[in-house]
Chain A
Amino acid sequence: MSDDRGAADKQSGADDNRLLMRATELAGLPVVSIAEGEALADVKDVVYNPDKGSLLGFTLNKRGFLRGPMKAVLPMSGVVGIGRDAVMVADTGACEEQGGLAAEAQSSAGRNVVGNDVLTDAGQRLGKVTDIVVAAESGEVFGYELEGDPKLQGHHPGQRLFLPIPATLAVSGTALMVPATAEPFIRDDLSGFGAAVEEFRAQLSGSAT
């Protein structure tokens, strides 16, 4: 019984102290095996699924300054934890050379969203993507970091802004579409951004019913 309560407290604590990270902060982090206690590779690309609003996994670089990319990829199912300093996996078996993510990463190469324009469904340009914001524990994609459009009201021109996105989202090769209703939920720092995302999604689900 006390174990159950302990687990519940831990869960609610995790919700309150959610670790939000920029995806580009994950690039270059070492992938560390818990079983062997050594770094297996470095993170190269962060691959995410805009349809589901979640991370799919990572492509990898060999370790060392002059080493190139690896064929093996790391799907999210093999990740035990993501922290500020490393991506933790159980053992070397977490990385795979063939499978869904390897094919996905190959077919989606060149679809880097950094630098893409963000447009609302009302036809307004909000800015240019500089990063995506992810929850480290769950791999859920929360929103975009933007370089705000100079015409965007209420913010300084070129200011870094955080835009919440719906749980599912349409992404083309060159532009990202978001609902116009997301604009009031734009924040200019990461603190409180998680709450803004939840408010925005609650409003969307409320208007859908």
Chain B
Amino acid sequence: MNTLTALILILLVIAIAFGAFVLVQRKRRTGGVIASKPRRPRGSS
């Protein structure tokens, strides 16, 4: 394995890691429409 191949492999790993990070962050940022839980009056079953 020469130096160039090693460099390409390292860059590939970095690119994949960065892509995964971006995907996870985008998923964390994605919002929705949340309905709050209904509150039951005290004493009701």
Partners in one complex: yes
A interface with B by C-beta (< 8 Å): 23-24, 27-28, 42-51, 56, 59, 61, 65-69, 104-105, 107-109, 111-114, 131-132, 170-171
Distance in Å: Cβ of A93 to nearest Cβ of chain B: 23
Q: In the complex, A139 Cα to B35 Cα: how many Å?
A: 14
Asked if A170 and B38 make an inter-chain contact with CB atoms under 8 angstroms apart, the answer reads: yes
Asked if B25 and A59 make an inter-chain contact with CB atoms under 8 angstroms apart, the answer reads: no
Given A27-B32, A111-B34; 4 other pairs, CB 8 A cutoff: A48-B36, A51-B36, A61-B31, A104-B36
Of B21, B28, B33, B38, which one neighbours A23 at CB under 8 angstroms? B33
User: Which chain A residue has the least Cβ–Cβ distance from B38?
Assistant: A51
Of A49, A66, A67, which one neighbours B36 at CB under 8 angstroms? A49
Asked if A50 and B31 make an inter-chain contact with CB atoms under 8 angstroms apart, the answer reads: no
B-side contacts of A104, CB under 8 Å: 36-37
Q: In the complex, A65 Cα to B22 Cα: how many Å?
A: 9
Q: In the complex, A108 Cα to B25 Cα: how many Å?
A: 21
B25, B31, B33 pick with most chain A CB within 10 angstroms: B33
Asked if B35 and A108 make an inter-chain contact with CB atoms under 8 angstroms apart, the answer reads: yes
Q: In the complex, A128 Cα to B38 Cα: how many Å?
A: 21
Asked if A113 and B38 make an inter-chain contact with CB atoms under 8 angstroms apart, the answer reads: no
Sorted nearest first, the 9 A-B pairs with minimum C-beta distance are: A112-B32, A27-B31, A44-B31, A45-B31, A23-B33, A171-B35, A47-B34, A108-B36, A49-B36
Of A47, A68, A113, A170, which one neighbours B25 at CB under 8 angstroms? A68
User: Which chain B residue has the least Cβ–Cβ distance from A46?
Assistant: B33
Asked if B34 and A50 make an inter-chain contact with CB atoms under 8 angstroms apart, the answer reads: no
Asked if B38 and A114 make an inter-chain contact with CB atoms under 8 angstroms apart, the answer reads: no
Distance in Å: Cβ of B4 to nearest Cβ of chain A: 30
